[in-house]
């Protein structure tokens, strides 16, 4: 059994061991913590939802392979993610394929491989998929992604309720969906909505799901559609910054449970699917970087590390953050008995740019050359969402901790030492 991540000494033991064995900068993922988060989701929502993992949040093949025994579905957003999922052993029948700009070659490969569902985001895409399926002599199951006309306040990113590249606007559905339904080599088996993400407000999540249920109900009635699958983009957020509180899943379930019961009764033959990514993997990952140099500059103590925005763009505040805020981070203890007072530190990376800053005035025990710093909530949107090759510093390693054992699962090739 691996230690719970709230056990500070056990956590630091594994982070320090990963750094010592595999080097830094490093991403360390605790698979048992992902499993525990999945268990929590199923306890709260299992009576309504299956779970689909959004591969874009962390496409590491070793994690995807581990997930085969734990998750119901995968959702990919490119032909590359589809190929990675297949290489990790996933049956294409359990994969859905979203994305607003699918290319002909991606659609052809997915349809040829018998992808479970294409999630269509436009009439153009539907016509292209129909033509490919006709050439292959098959009928391709599809879901249609809809973009509601509003998203409640409280989401970190919105993909509907305003001009958007994603899905069919509900205002246009009455015109576009019958045209898709008439295409002979596509079979509409359901609908998909993912309109907002990274919400820590339970009321906003419940309101958003109410919008989903209304849109699904109205659309199915208009099309006389008896859906086999309805996908709810979860929107479940995670705490990144000091003072933020994790969602209470049980409270969300209690608030909206009766409405989900009624909705499920209305569509008894449909499988409801909760699609999410960062909620599962984000808090289970840590970014570990080593202090290379420390300097005093005009009253500030600056720790300069071997990993920066090139390895962890999100923590630098340059991945969708409007106002930069520090992530939660801690010094990996070199001596558990060292209880020194904290000092404000500016945390910089190794790059020759002023925006390479991982923290400002962060209260930490004194950082010195050689110390390790761990940034929390780093399991999602890490290496693949960062400009890894900017200034050609070493690429980060990736390490999975499973049952207390460490494994190098670095995917990206290149110099890592």
Q: What is the pLDDT of residues 386-410, one digit of tens each?
A: 999 999 999 999 999 999 999 999 9
CATH of the domain at 109: 3.20.20.10
Distance CA 168, CA 165 (A): 9
pLDDT, mean over the chain: 93
Q: Are residues 331 and 258 in the same domain?
A: no
Neighbours of 322 (CB within 10 A): 7
Q: Are residues 100 and 238 in the same domain?
A: yes
Q: Are residues 308 and 340 in the same domain?
A: yes
Distance CA 214, CA 139 (A): 29
Q: Quick check: 55 and 42 in contact, CB under 8 A?
A: no
pLDDT bucket at 322, cuts 50 / 70 / 90: low
Distance CA 21, CA 408 (A): 9
> Would residue 207 count as lying in a domain?
yes
- Domain boundary pick from 276, 303, 323: 276
The candidate with the shortest Cα–Cα distance to 213, out of 48, 367, 34, is 48
The candidate with the shortest Cα–Cα distance to 267, out of 293, 228, 297, 222, is 228
Which residue bears the tokens 């200034």?
391
Active site residues: 352
Predicted local confidence at residue 263, as pLDDT: 98
Structure tokens at 329: 């981070």
pLDDT digits (tens, 9 = 90+) for 331-361: 998 665 565 789 999 999 999 999 999 999 9
Predicted local confidence at residue 196, as pLDDT: 86
- Domain boundary pick from 276, 291, 306: 276
pLDDT bucket at 7, cuts 50 / 70 / 90: confident
Predicted local confidence at residue 31, as pLDDT: 97
Give the torsion through C-alpha atoms of 140, 48, 283, 98, to 10 deg.
20
pLDDT digits (tens, 9 = 90+) for 67-96: 999 999 999 999 999 999 999 999 999 999
CATH of the domain at 312: 2.40.37.10
> Would residue 231 count as lying in a domain?
yes
Tell whether the model's pLDDT for residue 27 goes beyond 70: yes
The parent domain of residue 239 ranges over 91-276
- Domain boundary pick from 216, 251, 276: 276
Give the torsion through C-alpha atoms of 90, 95, 100, 104, to 10 deg.
70
Neighbours of 180 (CB within 10 A): 22
Distance CA 344, CA 196 (A): 35
CA 74, 223, 136: angle at the middle one, nearest 5? Answer: 55
Q: Are residues 265 and 295 in the same domain?
A: no
> Would residue 83 count as lying in a domain?
no
Distance CA 155, CA 247 (A): 13
Q: What is the mean pLDDT of residues 196-209?
A: 94
């Amino acid at each position: 059994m691996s230690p719970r991540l709230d056990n500070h000494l056990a956590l630091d033991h594994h982070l320090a061991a990963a750094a010592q064995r595999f080097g830094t900068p490093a991403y360390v993922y605790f698979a048992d913590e992902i499993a525990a988060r999945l268990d929590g989701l199923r306890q709260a929502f299992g009576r309504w939802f299956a779970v689909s993992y959004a591969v874009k949040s962390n496409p590491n093949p070793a994690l995807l392979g581990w997930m085969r025994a734990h998750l119901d579905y995968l959702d990919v957003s490119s032909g590359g993610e589809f190929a990675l999922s297949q290489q990790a052993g996933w049956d294409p029948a359990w994969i859905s394929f979203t994305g607003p700009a699918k290319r002909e070659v991606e659609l052809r490969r997915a349809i040829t491989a018998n992808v479970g569902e294409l999630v269509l985001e436009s009439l153009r895409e539907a016509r292209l998929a129909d033509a490919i399926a006709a050439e292959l002599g098959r009928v391709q199951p599809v879901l249609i992604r809809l973009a509601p006309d509003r998203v409640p306040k409280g989401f970190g990113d919105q993909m509907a309720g305003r001009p958007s590249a994603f899905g069919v606007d509900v205002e246009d559905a009455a015109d576009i969906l019958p045209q898709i339904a008439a295409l002979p080599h596509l079979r509409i088996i359901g609908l998909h909505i993912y309109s907002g993400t990274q919400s820590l407000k339970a009321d906003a999540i419940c309101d958003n799901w109410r919008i989903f249920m209304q849109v699904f109900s109205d659309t199915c009635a208009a099309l006389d559609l008896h859906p086999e699958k309805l996908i709810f983009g979860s929107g479940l957020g995670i705490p990144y910054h000091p003072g933020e509180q994790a969602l209470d899943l049980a409270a969300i379930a209690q608030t909206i449970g009766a409405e989900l019961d009624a909705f499920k009764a209305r569509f008894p033959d449909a499988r409801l699917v909760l699609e999410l990514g960062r909620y599962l993997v984000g808090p289970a990952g840590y970014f570990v970087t080593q202090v290379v140099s420390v300097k005093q500059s005009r009253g500030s103590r600056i720790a300069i590390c071997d990993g920066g925005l090139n390895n962890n763009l999100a923590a630098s505040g340059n991945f969708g953050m409007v106002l930069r805020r520090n992530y939660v981070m801690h010094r990996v203890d070199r001596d558990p008995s060292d209880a020194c007072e904290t000092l404000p530190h500016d945390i910089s990376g190794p790059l020759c740019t002023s925006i390479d800053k991982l923290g400002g005035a962060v209260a930490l025990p004194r950082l010195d050359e050689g110390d390790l710093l761990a940034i929390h909530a780093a399991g999602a949107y890490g290496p693949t969402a960062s400009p890894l090759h900017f200034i050609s510093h070493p690429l980060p390693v990736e390490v999975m901790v499973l049952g207390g054992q460490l494994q190098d699962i670095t995917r990206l090739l290149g110099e890592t030492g």
